[in-house]
A = this chain, B = another copy of it.
């Protein structure tokens, strides 16, 4: 197995956490007869600074020639004054769009070792294992027309979905549910939005081809409650782009820290892998970043792009072991707790690496 991976480290803590993910992948390569070639490329704020664009042409071109893309994080307050299409985040949205992956998989899992890190009671989070399937290329993120007319003092965004866009992501959700607890919860706001009515109708139609999977519909506002009250009752949660952004972040509280969460975006020319957390410029370079989100993202690269399921599981098990031994980065440390010690980004990376 030979894999060429575009390395889009990006801004803030992006480079530090990506490095730990790379170390783990290289350990896997060294142990098996696999080889990973990493192609470091600029994206986000660092790309604006170096090349004047959040997604330079050579970054896109070279990424398209890779087998997978591993992204750290983008975003830098320095560029807050720019319009959305010039900011670091635009680089992320442009590469998402160009790579074509429309199904963004985001697990929200409870770890026993971190049960006390969640604001939710342990009896609520125990055993939670949700997989969000967030549509990533449609809705308000990409809808046209979009503008802010400063003279007219008016701004406009467009939420748009075609049936085909809904069908293709729904199929992935149902297929994933078939290998899990066989339940899909589709989220919309069909009591108000026409787009949600199309969404609901399309998902309902797709469901007919998966008679072994139960489909339920939830309104996005109710869902925001249910995810906190009864998270164990969900299996696969299927959402449009913005609802998925909000609800998957909200579900981060189940795990206890956004720094723990990986994601994989499938269905396009090149799969895109990114931890869910942001660039956290305030802690960049301080050793406080949690590399686990990025390391678990590396596991998803192995699972979905390299077909190395066993190796992915080894990494996931190593993460659990590291946590159970009491190792904690700052975001998941809770003061002086017997049996726990606070470790830096690289220390956590090394602890996990040693177990792989």
Residues of B within 8 A of A140 (CB): 159, 192-193
Partner of A155 from the list B161, B191, B225, B250 (CB cut-off 8 Å) is B161
**Any B CB within 8 A of the CB of A198:** yes
A249-B228 in contact (CB<8A): no
B225-A194 in contact (CB<8A): no
**Any B CB within 8 A of the CB of A242:** yes
Q: How many copies does the complex hold?
A: 2
**Any B CB within 8 A of the CB of A334:** no
B246-A155 in contact (CB<8A): no
A156-B159 in contact (CB<8A): yes
Most B CB atoms within 10 A — which of A93, A141, A229? A229
**Any B CB within 8 A of the CB of A121:** yes
Most B CB atoms within 10 A — which of A83, A147, A191, A198? A191
How many Å from the CB of A191 to the closest CB on chain B?
A: 5
Distance, CA A89 to CA B270, complexed state (A): 42
Query: Beyond A120-B120, A157-B159, is A148–B195 a contact (Cβ under 8 Å)?
Result: yes
Query: Beyond A93-B192, A192-B89, A198-B155, is A249–B222 a contact (Cβ under 8 Å)?
Result: yes
Distance, CA A250 to CA B93, complexed state (A): 27
B194-A157 in contact (CB<8A): yes
Instruction: Find the B residue at minimum CB distance from A278.
Output: B222
Distance, CA A143 to CA B140, complexed state (A): 13
**Any B CB within 8 A of the CB of A146:** yes
Within 8 A of B (CB), among A249-267: 249-250, 252-253, 258
A246-B221 in contact (CB<8A): yes
Distance, CA A303 to CA B261, complexed state (A): 45
Distance, CA A156 to CA B156, complexed state (A): 13
Partner of A189 from the list B154, B161, B197, B242 (CB cut-off 8 Å) is B242
Distance, CA A146 to CA B80, complexed state (A): 31
Instruction: Find the B residue at minimum CB distance from A79.
Output: B191
Q: Mark A57-93, 1 if CB is under 8 A from B, else 0.
A: 0000000000000000001000010011001010001
A160-B155 in contact (CB<8A): yes
Residues of B within 8 A of A191 (CB): 75, 84, 87, 89
Residues of B within 8 A of A222 (CB): 249, 278
Query: Beyond A192-B140, A197-B83, is A163–B154 a contact (Cβ under 8 Å)?
Result: yes
How many Å from the CB of A125 to the closest CB on chain B?
A: 9
Query: Beyond A148-B194, A155-B198, A194-B155, is A258–B224 a contact (Cβ under 8 Å)?
Result: no
How many Å from the CB of A124 to the closest CB on chain B?
A: 5
A195-B156 in contact (CB<8A): yes
A-B residue pairs in contact (CB < 8 Å), sample of 27:
A80-B190, A84-B194, A87-B191, A89-B191, A119-B124, A120-B120, A120-B121, A121-B121, A140-B192, A146-B193, A147-B194, A148-B195, A152-B162, A153-B163, A153-B164, A155-B198, A156-B159, A156-B195, A221-B245, A221-B249, A224-B246, A224-B247, A224-B250, A225-B249, A225-B258, A228-B250, A246-B246
Give the 4 A-B residue pairs with the shortest CB-CB distance, closest first. A153-B163, A155-B198, A224-B250, A221-B249
